[in-house]
Structure 1
């Protein structure tokens, strides 16, 4: 009567391995079935969402305030409660450049509005119908170039700009007592001429870029980018055509910011190699230096994101509450000062060297990284401005 009966052993439905928990230790499949009521699926989704949020809350505060803490935690094996280094760096990189892109667009648009006097007619300076037609054709040609480079979601804005240009041209022709303008996009291409970026090819009369050890197709590609960049820059500072100037500046900004995240991803393994060279006697693996580089850049992107957001918030609040604008300005300066101090303290905490040697290596690593970063950013500017 008092015999004990062995409970049945659960087996994994995927590989039939005996289970000792909620997950199979052989294939990793969960013991829970996916065939469940909808309210259970919603509960699981909320649990996963809160779990991710929990990792963010555990990751961002020490990343910002504790130099080297996340890296040492990762080396110690305590990784589950924190966001993975590469994912953390990449997400913060995208957010930082997105916010910075918005800030630059706001500044450029304000300057353009101040320079053109708000809603001033683009064709107000035209004295004859021919000048109106020429300016309209040039502006439509610039719009066609932009139309081929922007994503599909931005096309309605291009159409609205085109309609606005035609309305302004017709208003000016009416003032001059002439017939409405009917410049087509094809005519705009003809008037725009070979100086427009859309007509540029690497088969030009003069070649700017030629590197002897590069293949011919790479030289042609680089030369094409340089010609487009010069044409975009020339158009971006053309005072005779405000609409084309504004579109060229938007092309330059969008192109550069589209390339910057990839450029920073390239810089991270190079920075890890620098750390490997300067700390070669520490006998650390390259992967350890790579994790240091990822956390360092994640902090820099987080700091850049904070500086940009604080600056935008200060600009917004200053006209209404002047004291908040000044307070946010001091906070922005504090974040900027904290960036080099943080990186120095992080280097000291991770590599465990005396302060004099840490400062010397910090200076040399920073000097080498500055020139490497300048080179990579220069190439990124050429590629971005060549769109």
Structure 2
């Protein structure tokens, strides 16, 4: 028996674990409910309708829905091991037309993307739950004099750092405005004085709040509860940013505003909003993420087209098939890392930093038949283009989400 025969036998045996065994057909000769033709099997040979009466239990219908959505049959059991460990073999099969033995690549891609989105949402909710627990503990500590004193000292230190940074930024903007030949030094100095006054007012309020927390138990507990409802671990960063954002907004005219296409005051204010409610921010971001993730498919497909432009036997369609497999691997492995406990997940993501480029190399080496040196070089090019595109999309998505808050 050859190795191919053994693989085929193993694949057939795996089907029994994920696929129902067909029932014997007992309605030979009965008319088709759709066209009336005599039935010879479970599918009408004239119109193609299933001869089954489709009467199912709720449990059976649930299984059929899952099976239809994820296509849980022997092809998936044969495709997944290749996707993870022999991606070159899988890519070669698809490009050479051996498609029916594997799960449809685009369906696998969509399911992998869906699982990744679910895993990411699970990770967000887990982080949010941990933050809630941490702030509940903080509220308990604020009920003791030692806890209130420690919290007040931390807030004072934070306010001092924020004030120093804000005044330093304002002084730099003032000096640049004075050096500008089109600017009026007197106006620049007046803008600086106004901004400095606002920063100091914010600082005084922060110090007063710290003092009240230290001396008033009710105010301390209330502050902790309010901070927790605002976004848990983000409330203090919001207040620290508030000092800088207020100062920057006060000098938004003239040279200070013209230096950048993005208003620093607006940007810091949007950051503060995101920190106030990180769960909402990530919900909005992931609402767009699954749409933008589809863009990675043509980007990766075009990068493969670029590095294999001299291989005329491969078409853009072939490159897109390979791209779906590469992205399916990335989504599935990262989804697993997101649902693992962080104590294990951090090592998993460390492994993926090496496994992902190796998977890409194996795909190009086996699927396209590249030499070792050629596969290494082309993997580097595709990896650089993909990571750059992913980073650009992620930054654009984060900025876009800020504008939606």
1:86 corresponds to 2:86: no
CA 1:300–1:78: 2 relative to 1, 3 Å: same
The answer for the alignment partner of 1:376 in structure 2 is 393
1:189-226 residue CA offsets vs partner (Å, 9 max, x unmatched): xxxxxx9xxxxxxxx9989997xxxxxxxxxxxx89x9
User: Does the aligned pair in 2 maintain the 1:24–1:31 contact within 8 Å?
Assistant: yes
TM-score, normalised by the number of residues in structure 1: 0.56
The answer for the alignment partner of 1:231 in structure 2 is 269
Distance in structure 1 (CA, Å) of the matches to 2:266 and 2:387? 27
CA 1:28–1:231: 2 relative to 1, 3 Å: farther
User: Does the aligned pair in 2 maintain the 1:278–1:361 contact within 8 Å?
Assistant: yes
CA 1:70–1:227: 2 relative to 1, 3 Å: farther
- Please state how far the C-alpha of 1:57 moved relative to its aligned partner: 3.5
CA 1:311–1:337: 2 relative to 1, 3 Å: farther
TM-score, normalised by the number of residues in structure 2: 0.54
- Please state how far the C-alpha of 1:15 moved relative to its aligned partner: 4.8
The answer for the alignment partner of 1:266 in structure 2 is 295
The answer for the alignment partner of 1:103 in structure 2 is 123
2:51 aligned counterpart, secondary structure: coil
- Please state how far the C-alpha of 1:114 moved relative to its aligned partner: 4.5
The answer for the alignment partner of 2:49 in structure 1 is 29
Q: Which of 280, 288, 299 is matched with 2:309 structurally?
A: 280
1:305 corresponds to 2:325: no
The answer for the alignment partner of 1:292 in structure 2 is 322
Q: Which of 364, 369, 386 is matched with 1:347 structurally?
A: 364
User: Does the aligned pair in 2 maintain the 1:303–1:339 contact within 8 Å?
Assistant: no
When you count helix as a share of all residues, which structure comes out higher?
2
Distance in structure 2 (CA, Å) of the matches to 1:308 and 1:54? 26
1:63 aligned counterpart, secondary structure: helix
Aligned-pair Cα RMSD in Å: 4.4
Distance in structure 2 (CA, Å) of the matches to 1:233 and 1:258? 19
Distance in structure 1 (CA, Å) of the matches to 2:126 and 2:59? 40
CA 1:76–1:116: 2 relative to 1, 3 Å: same
The answer for the alignment partner of 2:92 in structure 1 is 72
CA 1:208–1:378: 2 relative to 1, 3 Å: farther
State how many pairs are aligned: 275
1:57-85 residue CA offsets vs partner (Å, 9 max, x unmatched): 44433322222343334345554564322
Distance in structure 2 (CA, Å) of the matches to 1:279 and 1:262? 28
Structure 1 segments unaligned to the other structure (5+ residues) = 1-7, 128-170, 177-194, 196-203, 211-222, 237-244, 315-324
- Please state how far the C-alpha of 1:97 moved relative to its aligned partner: 3.5
CA 1:68–1:15: 2 relative to 1, 3 Å: farther
Distance in structure 2 (CA, Å) of the matches to 1:9 and 1:262? 49
1:280 aligned counterpart, secondary structure: coil
Distance in structure 1 (CA, Å) of the matches to 2:302 and 2:318? 11
Structure 2 segments unaligned to the other structure (5+ residues) = 1-27, 153-216, 223-241, 243-251
Distance in structure 2 (CA, Å) of the matches to 1:368 and 1:254? 28
User: Does the aligned pair in 2 maintain the 1:307–1:336 contact within 8 Å?
Assistant: no
- Please state how far the C-alpha of 1:173 moved relative to its aligned partner: 7.3
Bigger radius of gyration: 2
User: Does the aligned pair in 1 maintain the 2:79–2:90 contact within 8 Å?
Assistant: yes
The answer for the alignment partner of 1:248 in structure 2 is 277
CA 1:73–1:20: 2 relative to 1, 3 Å: farther
Distance in structure 1 (CA, Å) of the matches to 2:52 and 2:129? 55
Distance in structure 2 (CA, Å) of the matches to 1:108 and 1:46? 33
Distance in structure 1 (CA, Å) of the matches to 2:358 and 2:128? 32
The answer for the alignment partner of 1:62 in structure 2 is 82
User: Does the aligned pair in 2 maintain the 1:12–1:19 contact within 8 Å?
Assistant: yes
CA 1:378–1:83: 2 relative to 1, 3 Å: same
Distance in structure 2 (CA, Å) of the matches to 1:44 and 1:249? 38
Q: Please give the residue correspondences for 1:86-165 in structure 2 after superposition, counting only pairs within 5 Å.
A: 86-107=106-127, 110=130, 114=134, 117-119=137-139
The answer for the alignment partner of 1:240 in structure 2 is none
Q: Does 97-106 or 373-382 show the bigger shift?
A: 97-106
- Please state how far the C-alpha of 1:16 moved relative to its aligned partner: 6.0
Distance in structure 1 (CA, Å) of the matches to 2:220 and 2:383? 62
